[in-house]
Amino acid sequence: MRFSPIPRTAAGRDALVLAVVGIGLWMLIVFLNINDVWDGLLSHQNLLELDELFDVAAFTGILGFIYAYRRLRDLRLEMQKRSQVESEKEWLANHDPLTLLPNRRALETLTSQGVNSQSDKRYVIYAIDLDGFKGVNDLIGHQGGDLLLRAVADRLQQGLPDSTVYRLGGDEFLVIAERQEGVDAGQAGLQLLKRISAPYDIGGMTAEIGASIGFALYPEDGNDLDDAAHCADVAMYVAKRSGRNHVYGFERIMEDQVLRRAETELALKNAIREGLIKPYYQPLIDLRSGRLRGFEALARWQTGPNNYVPPGDFIELAEAAGLIGELSDSLLRQACRDAARWPEALLLAFNISPTQLLDRGFVEKTCALLQETGFPPKRLELEITETALVRDTETVIAILTELQNRGVRIALDDFGTGYSSLSQLSKFQFDKLKIDQSFIAGVMSDKKQEDIVRAIMHLGKGLGIVTTAEGIERNQQLEFMKDLGCDIGQGYLFGKAMPADQTLDLIASFSKTEMQRKIAG
Ligand code: C2E
Ligand code: MG
Ligand code: MG
């Protein structure tokens, strides 16, 4: 460092100037002999002795010094206070007050600074979104939800060594961890998931949640931490869309998927708002009498004059995008209005997504809709698949029971395709059991399928539940199911799903048709 005679600080420069001025004045006083002039003047005026004047000056100087010292001390305290307030403000701006974790702003500051390019540190970034937090929050209340979020934050902080956990908002977290030699990032992600999913004790209540986790590696997946965090987020998005409790590592192809999905999601949202998704109706036939028993409403998204997207391509998307409630409400409202024009004996069967049954307000919403459209609850049959009963069984059963108490029938759809079909039957008294079309398809050609269908029919009869065979396409299948005593038939043999106005034509012509004679035998 080079020596400079001029001090760097303002205080130093002030002191230097004052010293130079002081020495100059003193030299002037000595040179001009001002003391004697003063002395003469004072003694001539008979005012003060010179030594007394010095006393006054010294005393004033000391008082001035004390005053300056006290002012300086006040100033220092004020500055300390200000810097404390500043740092508290800074802390609050960079932290989440609930979990005390650094927040999104802190993450942005970190990522904008960039990783020191000299450093050879390697990181893994986990983007975490809790699954089912909203449901638990509704169940245990907001205070309970806050406690749960704090508990999750604690578990995440203890999850990985050399890591920082951020809460990005709501139920979203991000973990940046230094990569450890020999530790697989995917396995570590699964461990994090296991930690999060273990039960929580919230004020004596047990709560369980899951998580969707996406992870990305730095420097492999991103040039900087910001880039890598974005990749982790993309992977998390894909994990979330694939269902609950998945851990996905980032792959380049995911970016395209996310983009396409976002476009479809937007198109779906617009289609729902513009009423482009409408219920079509497939006839349900009484296999004993050959009479029409009602119709099942099946959603169709019209994208062009003769172009329809089947529900298999958008129901899941609507569920994942949180649009299923809105879509289902608009379909059910329309279906009730259409069905109100049918003869009173005809039922309306309507499909419900599992996620809708996690909403405790579902019963009230459905009943309000029935009242609004004037459609009687006893003519409505809601179809649920067994996945609805796998999650949060107690809540779902409470909702289904309440619906049944109000007169709505509940059918178990696609029976036999899930992994716990039988156990579902012991949990709830269904009004109807719909044998999945995959069994009916193989019933004439595959002895095993035939045996399974026989067994299901036996089960339904034993439990006193009405049975429906889905996907009847051929006469042999119809005859076989009739012989087994199946109650209701549905399939292309009787008719595909049709627009509302065609149902009226079908109803009018049905009793005169060949079909009825043939079925009734
Ligand atoms: P699902 O409730 O089991 O409906 C029966 C499906 O089988 C319908 O397919 C129907 O067109 C088809 N199908 C009926 N008869 C035959 C047949 O003889 N042969 C063959 N190969 N297929 C037949 P779709 O309309 O594509 O619906 C698929 C699934 O989408 C439905 O299965 C249901 O789970 C779901 N879905 C449809 N509409 C809605 C809705 O409004 N809300 C919800 N949440 N789900 C819906
Ligand atoms: Mg169905
Ligand atoms: Mg089905």
Closest CA to 167 of 97, 256, 268: 97
Which residues 6+ apart lie within 8 Å of 399 measured at CB?
357, 360, 362, 363
**SS3 state of residue 380:** strand
Compute, in degrees rounded to 10, the torsion defined by CA atoms 372, 375, 378, 381. -90
Most ligand 1 atoms within 8 A of CB, residue of 272, 276, 298 to mutate = 298
Higher-confidence position of 332 and 22: 332
pLDDT tens digits, one per residue of 486-515: 999 999 999 999 999 999 999 998 766 656
- Domain ranges within the chain, ordered by starting residue: 10-93, 104-251
Give the residue-averaged pLDDT of 161-184. 94
| Chain centroid to CA 465 | 38
Closest CA to 129 of 177, 167, 176: 167
Residue 225 CA to ligand 1 center (angstroms) comes to 45
| Terminal-to-terminal C-alpha distance of the chain | 109
Residue 291 CA to ligand 1 center (angstroms) comes to 21
pLDDT tens digits, one per residue of 375-400: 999 999 999 998 888 777 888 999 99
- Indicate the range of 9-13, 160-164, 182-186, 195-199 predicted with least confidence: 9-13
Q: What confidence score (pLDDT) does residue 511 get?
A: 65
Residue 413 CA to ligand 3 center (angstroms) comes to 5
Q: What confidence score (pLDDT) does residue 513 get?
A: 63
* The dihedral sign for the CA sequence 73, 79, 83, 88: positive
Residue 63 CA to ligand 3 center (angstroms) comes to 96
Q: Which single residue is written with the structure tokens 């100087």?
A: 61
Q: Which amino acids bring their CB within 6 angstroms of ligand 1?
A: 282, 298-299, 310-312, 315, 328, 331, 351-353, 383, 413-414, 437, 470-471, 473, 490-492, 497
Give the residue-averaged pLDDT of 98-113. 91
The H-assigned helical ranges of 215-303 are: 225-241, 253-273
Residue nearest to atom 21 of ligand 1 (CA): 471
- Determine the atom of ligand 1 nearest the C-alpha atom of 353: 44
Residue nearest to atom 37 of ligand 1 (CA): 298
Q: How far apart, in Å, are the Cα atoms of 256 and each of 237, 238, 240, 400? A: 12, 11, 16, 40
Q: pLDDT grade, residue 268 (50/70/90)?
A: very high
Give the residue-averaged pLDDT of 330-355. 96
Q: How far apart are CA 401 and CA 349, in angstroms?
A: 17
CATH classification (class only), 104-251: alpha beta
Give the residue-averaged pLDDT of 270-297. 96
Q: How far apart are CA 38 and CA 52, in angstroms?
A: 12
Q: What's 66-125 look like in SS3?
A: HHHHHHHHHHHHHHHHHHHHHHHHHHHHHECCCCCCECHHHHHHHHHHCCCCCCCCCEEE
pLDDT tens digits, one per residue of 444-465: 899 999 999 999 999 999 999 9
Residue 298 CA to ligand 1 center (angstroms) comes to 6
